[in-house]
Amino acid sequence: MNTLLKTFPPILNQPLKMLIDGQWVSSQSGATLSVINPSNGQVIAQESLGGQVDVDLAVQAARRALDSGPWQKMRPSERTRLMLKLADTIEQNGDELAMLETLNTGKPLKMARAFDISMAAECLRYNAGWATKLHGETRNVSLPGEWHAFTLREPVGVVGLIVPWNVPLAMAVSKIAPAIAAGCTVVLKPAELTPLTALRLGELIQEVGFPAGVINMVTGLGHEAGQAIVSHPGIDKISFTGSTAVGKSILAAASGNLKRVALELGGKSPVFIFADADLERAMDAAARGIFGNTGQVCAAGSRLFVHKKVADRVIEGIAQRARQLKVASGLSPDAEMGPVISERQRERVLEYIASGREDGAEIVTGGEAIQGEGFFVQPTVIVNTHPRMKIVQEEIFGPVLSTQIFDDESLEQLAERGNDSIYGLSSSIWTRDLRTAHQMIRRLKAGNVRVNAAAALDFAMPFGGYKQSGWGRENGREGVEAYTELKSVAIDLN
Ligand code: NAP
Ligand code: MG
């Protein structure tokens, strides 16, 4: 057991170990990296930096667990039971997991508890049900004579799971859960910045009794451990969430053995507020949609389009909400927004804001770093933007909202402005007019559309992107089936 995480709070001298083949092990190289609390910049732990050799051991373990041993013989209903038990165990350890998440990401503790931890448990419960419900079909073929033809759904194999730092536990679980429901075995690489909750999850996975090698965890750097996973010939599929740039590099690295690749990438999601909308609700949701999790959300509503008639009121209303937000360390009981994840990420966000200023945009509120310890940035609202500005085109992944105004242009033209992006992940439409809503739904090039709601996530609903926001869908039946291969079988009965 990685007993270090049991030492609480996790201010550690010895590096955290990695989970390979049911054992807690150090990296072969012995190299380590400091894990930082972004609320104060202090070191809270040391993680092992896994490399090629460690990934190789993890892949071999996952392969053995897939091809032989208890996992392979386990009935689907037993997989369901294990997954439900893990969900309960996550909840029983919810306070501790939330505290680890807050220490490692800076997010408000009450949000970590209410959102991240619950989401992890619910994701397991949703996917647990699929283990017993995946199936093939008989097919009515027209071959001469008499045939029995059917399809079989089989696990795709050993899956490499690579996740980012914005919702570390929930993100790890959202990839592990459908993969194991489908009968796969996995090698997970958490983000280098946020390994704590994934490793604690690894301990809980062992506690509930998953067989050795089914779920392996290698911590480390993207260009080392991550690269070793995506190029490994023993891995059958990669599921990645992160930046579009890394997503593209993964496609190239995965081509060696033509791995299946699923990509959940960035976004620059539009929010449309029409003049007839319930403006108070729309403003609340728009503010939550860009400042929630400090804007570090792939589906964050980062481009606001608001009708001219209500633009002043709406922009001021959102700016007011931004000014009132209590920005503080996640451990502070009244914190509503925490820091960004790292010094580097803060620089990135500030560079974007500076570029907006240079391009002639105007900051209504925010726009500055918050001085003192930790990596805090003010929630920021920007007006006078132009569609070609970098702050309008590129994913900032911080609490920065750019706004544009529309008038009585056609819905085609408005949707075109919304679609003017390399991304197509999410979008929200605020109106009381059904025709406006439906016409916009059809015209928007986005994987997810919400009407009179911010980007809401439910595990029954497929989630994924059009265009450069990704490949494939997570959640729902589609999300589990993505971890299967389909075998077509025909038996000649003549
Ligand atoms: P990232 O580099 O794409 O990180 C995502 C994951 O991929 C991490 O585990 C990362 O490891 C790993 N990785 C990096 N390079 C890799 C490679 N060559 N091969 C395999 N795996 C690799 O994202 P980031 O650097 O953390 O953040 C940069 C920007 O990406 C953000 O500002 C944001 O715009 C975007 N982003 C989007 C999402 C999203 O949900 N769509 C999430 C996070 C970030 P390391 O931890 O070592 O980098
Ligand atoms: Mg990176």
pLDDT surpasses 90 at 4:
no
Q: What is the pLDDT of residues 325-338, one digit of tens each?
A: 999 999 999 999 99
Across the chain, mean pLDDT equals 96
How close is the Cα of 243 to the center of ligand 2, in Å? 8
Q: Which amino acid is at 275?
A: A
How close is the Cα of 232 to the center of ligand 1, in Å? 19
Closest ligand 1 atom to Cα of 194: 46
Dist. CA 241–CA 264, nearest whole Å: 5
Closest ligand 1 atom to Cα of 171: 40
pLDDT surpasses 70 at 20:
yes
Verify whether residue 123 is a known catalytic residue: no
pLDDT surpasses 80 at 172:
yes
Q: What is the pLDDT of residues 182-226, one digit of tens each?
A: 999 999 999 999 999 999 999 999 999 999 999 999 999 999 999
Q: In terms of residues, how long is the chain?
A: 494
Helices and strands, counts by H and E, the chain: 17, 22
Closest ligand 1 atom to Cα of 227: 19
Which listed residue (47, 122, 192, 264) is catalytic? 264
Any atom of ligand 1 within 6 Å of the Cβ of 241: yes
- Name residues whose C-beta falls within 8 Å of residue 120's C-beta, 6 or more positions apart in sequence: 87, 90, 97, 169, 170, 172, 173, 174, 201
Q: What share of the chain is helix, strand, coil (3-state, %, to 5)?
A: 40, 20, 35
Q: Determine how β-strand 158-162 pairs with β-strand 185-189.
A: parallel
Any atom of ligand 1 within 6 Å of the Cβ of 139: no
Q: What is the mean pLDDT of residues 307-323?
A: 98
Q: What percent of the chain has pLDDT over 90?
A: 96
Dist. CA 11–CA 71, nearest whole Å: 35
How close is the Cα of 222 to the center of ligand 2, in Å? 6
Mutate to test the pocket of ligand 1, among 246, 269, 298 (most ligand atoms within 8 A of CB): 246
Which listed residue (184, 224, 298, 395) is catalytic? 298
Q: What is the mean pLDDT of residues 150-167?
A: 98
Q: What is the mean pLDDT of residues 106-133?
A: 98
**Hey, whose CA ends up nearest to atom 44 of ligand 1?**
242
Q: What percent of the chain has pLDDT over 70?
A: 97
Give the pLDDT of residue 1. 43
**Hey, whose CA ends up nearest to atom 22 of ligand 1?**
222
Q: Which amino acid is at 439?
A: Q
Q: What is the pLDDT of residues 444-471, one digit of tens each?
A: 999 999 999 987 789 999 999 999 999 9
Burial of 245 (0-12, 13-18, 19+ CB in 10 A): exposed
Give the pLDDT of residue 454. 85
**Hey, whose CA ends up nearest to atom 35 of ligand 1?**
243
